[in-house]
Amino acid sequence: MQVDEPVRLPRLSRAAVCGGTHGNELSGVYLVREMLKPENRKEDGGPASLLMLLSNPRAVQQCTRYVDTDLNRCFTHLFIGKSQKGAPYEIFRARELNNLLGPKGSRAAVDLICDLHNTTANMGLCFIAYSDCDWVCLHIFRHLQKQMPDTPMRFIHFDVSTKESYSLDSIGKHGFAMEIGPQPHGCIKSNIYTAMREGVQHMRDWVSCFNSGESNKCYFLLMENINSFKTSKCFLSQDRDFCLLRPGEPLFQTFSGETVKYQGAEALYAFFINECAYYKKGIALSLARKRRVSVPSIRCVYFLQIYLYLSIDVKLHEYSGYD
């Protein structure tokens, strides 16, 4: 019987949990504040170094999505590169976070970033990531599925290159956004906050197990983001996130009462349906294709730091007297 060899990956020594990237998504804000309390910062077998922070403190203070511009679109190399005088607050803050957690794409970047978000859409708990072969993030997701069987979960892959990635989690060597809903912006719901708290704790437990050398293999379904659907009409598909949308099925209702049907060429899965924050962009929903992913087993490898001492012959000059 053939046994697959585990993929060997470095220890996750430094991790970050971020809340308040959007200042009115309050589950992450309150969870990070709770985790920062001294009585909750005792060692619990999690990552060797865990940083918890509020990403956009000004927006949190004002309970608004952002102050000048969307912070979660500011982590491209263009924005976090050379400083610009008079730049919007969020671009300035993105550079601060890149210096703290990165630099992006470097060996010095933190090993793992979990960025906490809420959505008004009925999406349950979702991981959103740029890679469909980041085995660390995929294994964490599968661990949460096993530990929280009553919580609907999906892994959403946005096919964006590392060069073009724009969100906070892209700073880390591994990273994902944990998106949980439905929850109205500017308020907090007990069940949504509890699901986020449990999800973060299970993530920390998995990191501890991984660092201790455990490994396993898993299979699950992944949602591949295709595009977004723009409209200003009312919804007939409200709260039907991740239900299959077939060509010809009712999708919208106009304000005059007419039904607009989905005219796509293939059946796809709708999500982020009627997300409040996307109204300004005119985005009604996003569409995804489902596919099965086989994730290899992984095992932590400890890298020993070896210091090499370069031997240099130093000639001693003999002096017969004083200069």
Instruction: Name the residue ranges covered by the structural domains of the chain.
Output: 10-217+296-301, 226-286
Pick the CATH number of 10-217+296-301 from 1.10.10.10, 3.40.50.1860, 3.40.630.10, 3.10.20.30: 3.40.630.10
pLDDT in tens, 166-197: 999 999 999 999 999 999 999 999 999 999 99
pLDDT at 305: 42
Active-site positions read 179
Q: Binding-site residues, please?
A: 22, 25, 117
- Residues whose CB is less than 8 angstroms from the CB of residue 135 and which lie 6 or more positions away in sequence, other chains included: 7, 9, 295, 296, 298
User: The tokens of 193 are what?
Assistant: 């906050």
Q: Quick one: how far is CA 87 from the chain centroid?
A: 25
pLDDT at 317: 36
Three-state secondary structure along 211-241?
HCCCCCCEEEEEEEEEEEEECCCEECCCCCC
- Residues whose CB is less than 8 angstroms from the CB of residue 68 and which lie 6 or more positions away in sequence, other chains included: 88, 89, 90, 91
pLDDT at 320: 36
Q: What are the residue ranges in the chain where pLDDT is below 70? A: 1-4, 42-48, 214-222, 224, 226-236, 302-323
Q: Binding-site residues for Zn(2+), please?
A: 22, 25, 117
pLDDT at 218: 61
pLDDT at 293: 83
